[in-house]
Chain A
């Protein structure tokens, strides 16, 4: 909690360091000095910094996250409108990253082939090192431009396709629930490239972790016992080795969320995806710093919350941790 407090102070200080005067930004360059002074008082800018901070904090807790003067909507509303798009993208990215990493790690360790191992490690390496915006660009060039397999960066659905009735706010789930197969296919089509691009870095990271812990686990005796009882090598590895190996990956979940948040800012810009990341990019370009401020605080909040959840989950998942330490 203290961490969050310090973090919010840090953000506030950083963003209030702006040389630009918010009042002047709102009123425009032609406003008179009197009008600007009036606006400053209205905004509370003439008060000492600690008072301003307190006002901001209480406002934040009450849901007042600032106002986006460019679009004329409160920041809270904007974020809520855009959040489902980012969540859907992030969900599928995380899903494909985890599934891909598990498959690749099992194949890498189980196949006992240097070729498979080297290929998987190479892909993971590239994923960790590549700029997501460039990968997205390359994917667009290859799959949308030259091969025409997948649509270009037009957002979540094709032009002229209307979204399904809103239940979960995820276009894919809603389309399935409503039975609109065409819309579902369309939404999936538009999800493939952005989600895979966003998934590349987490995939690399999870794969490395999983591979390392799988290697450790595969040496353990209990896998040998399983094989002695009749399981094949693969069955033993998948059913008994993987769950044990997943534990260290769980602790990294918080970091993965951080990666997804940062990555989505870039990927959404490339693919014109109407999510929170795109909001941040547009706000930066339009100098809507209030939005950026809210976003930064929110991402820190999300990171801390996820870590707390992970810590709690860790105790639940690993029964060994529930017993008091004997050492």
Chain B
């Protein structure tokens, strides 16, 4: 431990801080580790493993896993490992984008509802409730059906289905923080409304929202894969874990199991990683997006 005022190199302190974090939050660290592992697999993997995920080669179709094709090949001869890596990039990026955009929109709505109260609160929460009446997957399904199959419409659909969760959670957090004494003090000492909001209220909502965000990432990946499985979402030949599982399903009974199994393992690991992070950091959204914010966090 260093004394206040004594300089310490930032690298060393970052490492020791990480180590402390890892020992205290063991579950979350394992989760982070898994996520980083899969991200590394998806982005660094193609640097090492060269085959083209889109290269069709009908003479090489349906080959079992081997040294030259560790995950085997699919029905038109594409290398499954390369496709899995490429799909990883797509799924992770899409999930992060969905989480971020949904989070921004949801948090804004929730914050405004919580801060304003009254009619604004009532109407926006009614709106959120009506969105929540649909099972999230079904809502995402409806939107992507309406806008035509494709990656963007699927992402939009999933984003819309996550907004009410963020909004409700943000609203309850804002209400909770608003009632704290020091906010009252800030108002009494004459702070300008915007300043109070940004400097006193919002910073205390970040932690809960971050937990919700991490479980939303897991949900987003799952739903994107599910939409791909159904035929909406990402279209072939773009690799995506869900569509790869669909393709694999057709061949599972004829014995070529590798097409569907590997993408699913990766998907499972990624979602478990996200849930571990959410669970380890506080457990607010741990039981999935569908539960944590509608009935309150389960401690």
* Residues on A facing B (Cβ under 8 Å): 2-4, 6-7, 10-11, 14-15, 17-20, 125-126, 128-131, 133-134, 137-138, 140-141, 144-145, 152-153, 201, 204-205, 208-209, 212, 251-252, 255, 258-259, 261-262, 265-266, 269-270, 280-281, 284-285, 289, 292-293, 295-296, 299-300, 303-304
Contact = CB atoms under 8 A, between A and B. Distances in A.
B148 A262 contact: no
A264 to B, nearest CB: 10
A262 B249 CA distance: 19
Contacts of A144: 253
B145 A284 contact: yes
A266 B231 CA distance: 11
Interface of B: 126-127, 129-131, 133-139, 141-143, 145-148, 218, 222, 225-226, 229-232, 242, 245-246, 248-249, 252-253, 255, 257, 260-261, 263-264, 267-268, 271-272, 274-276, 279, 286-288, 290-291, 294-295, 298-299
B232 A284 contact: yes
B133 A300 contact: yes
16 contacts: A17-B146, A18-B148, A128-B288, A129-B218, A131-B229, A131-B271, A134-B263, A137-B264, A152-B253, A201-B288, A209-B287, A258-B136, A289-B145, A292-B141, A296-B134, A296-B142
A295 B141 CA distance: 11
B137 A262 contact: yes
Contacts of B279: 125
A205 B288 contact: yes
Given A3-B129, A6-B127, A266 B275 contact: no
A18 B145 CA distance: 8
B268 to A, nearest CB: 5
B135 A129 contact: no
B129 A137 contact: no
Contacts of A15: 142, 145-146
Nearest to A299: B138
A266 B138 CA distance: 11
B133 A137 contact: no
B245 A129 contact: no
A266 B223 CA distance: 11
Contacts of A14: 142-143, 146
Contacts of B275: 125, 128-129
Given A134-B245, A252-B291, A18 B146 contact: yes
B264 A138 contact: yes
A293 B135 CA distance: 14
B257 A128 contact: no
Contacts of A7: 130-131, 133-134
The 3 closest A-B pairs by CB, nearest first: A134-B264, A6-B130, A262-B137
B290 A133 contact: no
Contacts of A252: 291, 295
Contacts of A289: 145-146
Contact of A3 (B133, B245, B261, B299): B133
Nearest to B286: A208
Contact of A141 (B146, B257, B290): B257
Most chain A CB within 10 A, of B142, B147, B261, B291, is at B142
A255 B294 contact: yes
B268 A281 contact: no
Which residue, of B134, B232, B253, has the highest number of chain A Cβ atoms within 10 A?
B134
A131 B298 contact: no
B148 to A, nearest CB: 6
A261 B135 contact: yes
A140 B261 CA distance: 11
B272 A129 contact: yes
Contacts of A201: 288
A299 B257 contact: no
A153 B250 CA distance: 11
B142 A266 contact: no
A269 B229 contact: yes
Contact of B291 (A3, A10, A255, A284): A255
Contact of A140 (B136, B252, B268): B252
A137 B261 contact: yes
Contacts of B261: 137-138, 141
Contacts of B287: 128, 204-205, 208-209
A321 B106 CA distance: 34
A265 B227 CA distance: 11
